[in-house]
Structure 1
Amino acid sequence: MATVTRENIGLLNDKITIKVAGADYLPSFEKALKNYSKQANIPGFRKGMVPTGMIKKMHGQSVFADEVIKAVEKELSNYMVNEKLEIFAQPLPLAQSEGPKIDMNNPVEYVFDFEVGLKPSFSVADLSKEKMTRYKVTVTEEMINEEATRLQVRHGKMVDREAVTEDDNVLNVVFTETDANGNEVEGGIKKDNSFLVKYFAQPFRGTLTGKKKDDVVNLQINKAFDEKEREWILGDLGLDKHDEAAAAKFFNMTITKIGFVEKAEFNEEFFKAVYPKKEIKSEADFRNEIKEEIQSYWDKQTKNHLQHEIYHVLVDHTKIEFPESFLKRWMQTGGEQPKSQEEVEHEFPTFANQLKWTLITDKLVQENNLEVKNEDIEAFAKQQLFGYMGMTMQEDEQPWIAEYITRMMKDRKFVEDAYHRIQTEKVFDLVETKLNAVEKPVTVDEFSKEAEKHQHHHH
């Protein structure tokens, strides 16, 4: 009769000893040999007629060892279920100076030692006691004007112009690398481009006024463009944006076309082009729609920021003890690739934080009965599809949408990923209800600085 004993060997670290005697593994060993003889293909014998004695002689030792190990694993598994042991990862075999020598000719009592890392009991940090801020970005008239103008240009009409007259002229150009005297460099860079006159540096723009199609201007990138545009132009020319020598190169810029975008007028045709699914009749309604879109975008950003804050508060303020020595041994030997002690020491702080977050979310899910249902995953698939396609949720859904969702529900990786993301979202939604967060109106700049400060603090 097998016996199982358990003793504590460290913080949340126990040793489980399994002893198995002949009665625990011999019956299954005999049965396994008989099954083997029925299946074996050995020359000179009909299938299923190989004598058990021959099988025992040829394969007995490996079958015997398998059955002993199976008996041990069964006892270990039953013990953990009966004792309701909450453990990390899998039990690790303990290294023994004198390991049991399994010998089918000597069916004695065998002893195996395992160590387990026990999950700790803990309380999740009380968020109602934490000082938290819920930022609300204020959408200004300037932001609405900027977006309205961008949409007018995007839906506007390009017309040709005789000469460069204003900052909003569009130039089609060809850059050709030259020397300082404007002579073309053999094998040098040659590249088409297109941009607005206002992308040039302010002092340089004056040299372009009055220029016509086929006119050529010799320039240096570092003098013709300010830093932001300069980096973009250098990248487009295949040059290193940090290379000062590259920025000082000379180019002939040949103007091949001068254009101007006539902005779309504020009328129902324009409103329909921008928002085909909405009934927008007036400029006021149009501006209101833009405001809602901008607000929605910044609400998502501030929500993400708050969730980052919540994550760090929960991880930093929830006290959880770990069986550190067990987890480090498991990291060394339990993965697909063995790791060195140095690798484990380097990776452990990040690993422990991830483990802490997993324990916290598991506890919140169990205590609050948070469920992810099939319909949640289906809704997630639909939302993702509509996001990719730039569609809006419609009443009259086409059959192909249902087919797509059915297909995604059979994709195990998608379902697992969706399940995890939905569960995390449900955890954050729950936790947000427990906050005593103060709402604070901020400008885009103020919020961006706050978010940046937060990123630096935690990385």
Structure 2
Amino acid sequence: MKVTLNKTDHVNGIIAIELEKPDYQENVDKSLNQFRHKANIPGFRQGKVPKGIIQKMYGKSILAEEINKLVSNELYKYIKDNELNILGEPLPNEEEQKTIDFDKDENFEFKFDIALAPEFELPLNKRDTLTYYNVKLEDDLLDKQHDAYKQNYGTYKKVETEAVETDLIKGRITEIDNGEPKENLIEIENGMIMPSYLKDEETKKKFVGAKVGDSIVFNPKTAYDNNAAEIASLLQIAKENVPDVINSDFSFEIQEVTRYEEAEMNQELFDKVLGEGAVSSEEDFKSKITELLNNQFKPAADNLFMKSARELILKKLKDVEFPDAFLKRWLLVANEKNSEETIENDYPKIAEDLKYHLSKEKIVKEQDIKIEDADLEAFATEVAKAQFAQYGMSNVPADVVENYVKRLLGDQNTVRNMYDQLVENKVMEWLKQTIKVNEKEIPSKDFEKLLSEEKEEK
């Protein structure tokens, strides 16, 4: 067997594989014997079919199959052993390939076209300048977030004063008829109403201003604008039973009024939001919250920076040549949905993506960038905490975070995406050290506008 590479130019080549009978005959004989023992042919017991009959009936197809397997294995072995950086996949040569005759030939030659990744330099230095945006949340938005924390971590407290619209009123609800308890009545000992949820303004006025000890007569149908689900919830009955009581009046004997009070800006709130002992003053609390909120913009800022870096790299590599004819042919073969017209239209973008991909591969290889298991686990922890933070959960118990991280690392697609992101992050750090970076502070509203404009340009 002989395998050779003929480079037709710096990005195209032809791999030739020459086979002689000793290279493949042993595998062919082995496959024929295996097939003979399994074959069911009328007139012969299984496993007793003469070899000559098997050879006559199936010899050609088995020969072709074994040679194809051998050629494929040797082709990719040669590419791997010689560390050829190919683009796409090898394709059968259409010009130099001789016709194969499995009936007559004993020696065979197969030729494959391959596309070689171009070799290039990446001339980046401190004369190249890019902008990195440090996004800062505006003071009014920070104040709203502080208020939201106080609201979220507040508590209900009993009050003896008159009820307001947002109070929670608790008491006994009794079905009545002409002001008296009804036979077979509905009676709820632990009824609850919040006036702000009542649809009828007149009913709402009855509860607003009421206090413990008052008894209010109302009609649930009117109060909730005939909403069966809300009536059923109030009276603690099945929704389908609502029509049976829809016209009844009820009395509500107020036993307790509770009012929601915002949390105070104190150590208890700091510990609930950030974890016990994380900060010890209002100044430190606000500083930490500001840092956490500003960090939520970092992924978008990173993406914008890398988009600019991509444009810079493509500009540097504008004269790098690709095996365009081969790649267009391979794209046509690789996906049956492609047509020559769609490939011609899409190819400029495909070529740019490929150039950028190769440039990142070059950086990773030359800078010996590696991602270890510890890197993945640490990044998964950051991802988990960031996802919880999006829902205002900045102080999640360690065991909850740990379990979520295990779920992330148990999903292969998620791990692959995180691996790619870590590589991207390390490439970005190298770029920041290699070129000149102008760091620019920008208000979050202006940054959102910038992102919107970028999206419209696509």
Same fold (TM over 0.5): yes
Which residue number in structure 1 is paired with residue 215 of structure 2? none
Gaps of 5+ in 2: 168-194, 206-257
SS of alignment partner, residue 135 of structure 1? strand
Q: Is the 8 A contact 2:274 2:395 kept in 1?
A: no
Q: Which amino acid in structure 2 is aligned with residue 322 of structure 1? A: F
Which of 120, 126, 129 matches 2:127? Answer: 129
Displacement of 1:429 after TM fit? 1.9
Is 1:294 aligned to residue 293 of structure 2? Answer: yes
Give the alignment of 1:125-204 within 5 angstroms.
125-138=123-136, 141-156=139-154
Q: Which amino acid in structure 1 is aligned with residue 315 of structure 2? A: D
Which residue number in structure 1 is paired with residue 431 of structure 2? 431
Is 1:321 aligned to residue 321 of structure 2? Answer: yes
Identity %: 26
Which residue number in structure 1 is paired with residue 58 of structure 2? 59
SS of alignment partner, residue 436 of structure 2? coil
Hey, what's the Cα distance between the residues in 2 that align with 1:288 and 1:312? 36
Hey, what's the Cα distance between the residues in 2 that align with 1:267 and 1:77? 67
Give the alignment of 1:407-418 within 5 angstroms.
409=409, 411-418=411-418
- Aligned pair in 2 of structure 1 residues 306, 74: CA closer, same or farther (>3 Å)? closer
Displacement of 1:330 after TM fit? 0.6
Hey, what's the Cα distance between the residues in 2 that align with 1:401 and 1:266? 26
Which residue number in structure 1 is paired with residue 181 of structure 2? none
Q: Which protein is bigger by CA-based radius of gyration?
A: 2
Displacement of 1:69 after TM fit? 2.2
Q: Which amino acid in structure 1 is aligned with residue 447 of structure 2? A: F
- Aligned pair in 2 of structure 1 residues 408, 281: CA closer, same or farther (>3 Å)? closer
Q: Is the 8 A contact 1:137 1:295 kept in 2?
A: yes
SS of alignment partner, residue 307 of structure 1? helix
Runs (4+) of structure 1 exceeding 6 A deviation are 157-164, 391-394, 400-404
Displacement of 1:342 after TM fit? 1.3
Displacement of 1:98 after TM fit? 8.5
Which residue number in structure 1 is paired with residue 249 of structure 2? none
Hey, what's the Cα distance between the residues in 2 that align with 1:157 and 1:268? 16
Displacement of 1:331 after TM fit? 0.6
Deviation larger for 79-88 or 124-133? 79-88
Q: Which amino acid in structure 2 is aligned with residue 146 of structure 1? A: K
Give the count of matched residue pairs: 369
Hey, what's the Cα distance between the residues in 2 that align with 1:326 and 1:117? 7
Q: Which amino acid in structure 1 is aligned with residue 284 of structure 2? A: D
Question: What's the TM-score, normalizing by structure 2?
Answer: 0.67
- Aligned pair in 2 of structure 1 residues 44, 379: CA closer, same or farther (>3 Å)? farther
Q: Is the 8 A contact 2:332 2:340 kept in 1?
A: yes
- Aligned pair in 2 of structure 1 residues 294, 161: CA closer, same or farther (>3 Å)? farther
Give the alignment of 1:56-135 within 5 angstroms.
56-81=55-80, 83-95=82-94, 100-104=99-103, 106-135=104-133
Q: Which amino acid in structure 2 is aligned with residue 427 of structure 1? A: V
Q: Is the 8 A contact 2:275 2:395 kept in 1?
A: no
Q: Residues 142-187 of structure 1: CA distance to partner in whole angstroms, max 9, x if unpaired?
A: 44333323333444568999899xxxx99xxxxxxxxxxxxxxxxx
Displacement of 1:107 after TM fit? 2.6
Which residue number in structure 2 is paired with residue 202 of structure 1? none
Deviation larger for 309-318 or 136-145? 136-145
Q: Which amino acid in structure 1 is aligned with residue 338 of structure 2? A: K
Hey, what's the Cα distance between the residues in 1 that align with 2:16 and 2:162? 89
Q: Is the 8 A contact 1:91 1:117 kept in 2?
A: yes
Q: Which amino acid in structure 2 is aligned with residue 118 of structure 1? A: L
Which residue number in structure 1 is paired with residue 175 of structure 2? none
Q: Which amino acid in structure 2 is aligned with residue 328 of structure 1? A: K
Q: Which amino acid in structure 2 is aligned with residue 68 of structure 1? A: I
Is 1:26 aligned to residue 59 of structure 2? Answer: no
Q: What is the RMSD of the two structures over their aligned residues, measured on CA atoms?
A: 3.9
Give the alignment of 1:322-361 within 5 angstroms.
322-335=322-335, 337-361=336-360
Is 1:265 aligned to residue 264 of structure 2? Answer: yes
Hey, what's the Cα distance between the residues in 2 that align with 1:28 and 1:151? 73
- Aligned pair in 2 of structure 1 residues 143, 408: CA closer, same or farther (>3 Å)? closer
Hey, what's the Cα distance between the residues in 1 that align with 2:377 and 2:110? 47
